Amino acid sequence: MMPGQEESANEYEVRLGKLSALTSKPTHYCSGCEHGILTKLIANAIDELEIREKSVVIDSVGCSVFAHEYINVDAIQAPHGRAPAVMAGIKRVRPDLVVFAVQGDGDAVAIGLQELIYAASRNEPITIFLVNNAIYGMTGGQMAPTTPEGMVTTTTPEGRDTAYTGTVIDASKMLAGMDGPSYVKRVFLPVAPLRTRDLYSAAGPLEGARSVVNAFKVQLAGGFSFVEFVSTCSINWKMSVLDSKKYAAEVLSKIYPPGLYKDKLGIERK
């Protein structure tokens, strides 16, 4: 806390501050992890839309398993990959509730791919935030379906050989190719180095904040919303925090280009 805080309280107004949808528990996320940013963006959207008392977060398996510790809403833990099915069950009997999950690329694109595709095909009015950092984070850095060619992981110590292990799966493009889903967007969430100045752009988190709000609006309007956040995993990529942002900007954003892939309800034009 800065000296002089107490006297200054009356002179200052708080422009950005406490979110009622965020608990005060310090997070387990690694230093610089986009999971932390996303958690805040979600809490911000819940506060803005005033849906806290009708929201249910579904913990997935991976670094998002503790979502309920940080997001101050009702919660249920789903088995690995099953969040879209659990959310569908809740939503079908209680369409008045707002249900959402944060899933990792292993949870959503490997073990849970079928549940994800069918929820999308039914345009189930649920919201899925995919944190795609191209690796299995919580379990210590194994290959994911999104791991690019050549990336060293603990199960591809020579670098991934996509001819042997499979080519990457692009969840946003796959879902956007279906008739069902209402909103499919990919956001580059990390701060990205700007070439002209020694400054990093915060466009990712700012765009992310708007996308999270839009995703909830799509659910409230009755549609399936999916936002993929290209992210980093500095610890498992074995890079410094800032180097991981550079890698994401130089390599991942080209494999997983950001964009609005589907917006059936035109929510971004409103």
Q: Contact residues for another protein (CB under 8 A)?
A: 1-5, 8, 11-18, 22, 26-27, 29-37, 39-41, 52-56, 59, 65, 68, 72-79, 82, 85-94, 97, 114-115, 118, 191, 199-202, 205-206, 209, 241-242
Of 95 and 166, which has the nearer Cβ to another protein?
95
Q: What is the DSSP letter of 197?
A: S
Q: Supply the minimum distance, in Å, between the C-beta of residue 214 and another protein.
A: 16
Q: Supply the minimum distance, in Å, between the C-beta of residue 150 and another protein.
A: 26
Of 7 and 158, which has the nearer Cβ to another protein?
7
| Cα 157 from Cα 164, distance rounded (Å) | 14
**Single-letter amino acid, residue 89:** G
Of 41 and 215, which has the nearer Cβ to another protein?
41
What are the structure tokens assigned to 203, written together?
């466009």
| Cα 108 from Cα 145, distance rounded (Å) | 10
Which of 56, 61, 124 is closest to 92 using CA atoms? Answer: 124
Q: Supply the minimum distance, in Å, between the C-beta of residue 130 and another protein.
A: 17
3-state per-residue secondary structure call for 127-155: EEEEEECCCECCCCCECCCCCCCCCCECC
Of 150 and 206, which has the nearer Cβ to another protein?
206
Of 95 and 159, which has the nearer Cβ to another protein?
95
Q: Supply the minimum distance, in Å, between the C-beta of residue 65 and another protein.
A: 6
> Which whole-number Å values give the CA distances from 65 to 59, 62, 71, 95, 213, in the listed order?
5, 6, 12, 24, 22
> Which whole-number Å values give the CA distances from 23 to 26, 66, 68, 71, 99, in the listed order?
9, 12, 9, 6, 18
Q: Supply the minimum distance, in Å, between the C-beta of residue 86 and another protein.
A: 4
Q: Supply the minimum distance, in Å, between the C-beta of residue 32 and another protein.
A: 3
Q: Is 250 helix (H, G, I), strand (E, B) or coil?
A: helix
Of 39 and 156, which has the nearer Cβ to another protein?
39
